[in-house]
Structure 1
Amino acid sequence: MTAPVSHDAPLPDVIAPNLDVLFCGINPGLLSAVKGQHFARPGNRFWPALHLSGFTPRLLKPAEQAELLDYRLGITNLVARATAKADELSPEELRAGGARLIELAANYRPKVVAVVGITAYRTAFDRRKAKIGPQPERIADARLWVLPNPSGLNAHFQLADLAAVFGELRSEVAQTP
């Protein structure tokens, strides 16, 4: 179990070699940082979308994040610094996070890296016209996907929409040896 951390300490990655998918959030929210749990805010739809898309057989709670490794899934963040909102991050922080994500992918070799948040992805990797879904480039040897931000503040995607996009990613992963 991950120990709680202060909002100044980095949120530990949930990661192992050769995962099917390494999900990459933007940065921890304040509650996530305090609890030491990714996507910990009750209104965040990451965990429900993960379950409804078939990645997990049941709805996991943020406190059960270590169980993701049993399903060959992991979580990291582009930026370690916790904020109330992602728009508090600078472009420089996001670009540095993109470089770190490339290193993680090279070292841990997941099949897919899925960045959760289109605006952060566009800034971190200087891909201003990127769209949700699979991307033409790779990160290290991993295929690259961009998923919508599951924050409850993202009104553009309802839970069913999020689950559908997560499900497209799951289908691709299931078809890949």
Structure 2
Amino acid sequence: MTTALAPALSARLSLTPKTTLAGLLDGAWWPRSRDLAAELPPLVDALEGRYGRITRVTVNPTRWPVVPHKAAVTGHTVHVGWFTEQDPDKMILLSYSVGRCDLLVIPPETEPAAAAQLMTAAALPGSVLTAGALMSDETATGRRMRDARSSENDWETDGGAAPAALRHPVVGARMIPVPGSPRR
């Protein structure tokens, strides 16, 4: 009896077109799960044509239940690091040839329409919006993630109220907090 392996799913990825306009993000990635070891190989395979051999990846561990030290990808190993200071909605990929690729990471449970909007916004050439700002804006416009919506409904029926989303006006490439708003 032979066992056939299921074909690997391609990465759901949107990249900024090649242009002279440098932005804060190089695009967006919408993984299918929070299993980083399983999700990294298709992402790295999709990026290596444009960025060369990806050798390192950094994430914020708050979005990933398990952060492996290494991930096996086609033909090599990628070293994975984590930094709590890094934006939790961003992933940084490093390569020998091109340098660095910064991606917005869209939570896997995000509704498809909201994910499409985020993927488009993150891939705009010259954008000065950070990953966190894009996610905050998406939440503020009412397009919520599936698990966030059910959590809010549970909270509301228990007598609590969800906090208002924190919004930051953009001035140049710096994020300036709105006076009197709580810090996150």
Q: TM-score, normalised by structure 2?
A: 0.29
Higher percent of residues as helix: 1
Considering Cα pairs closer than 8 Å and 6+ residues apart, tell me whether 1 or 2 has the greater RCO: 1
Which is greater in Rg? Answer: 2
* Structure with greater proportional strand content: 2
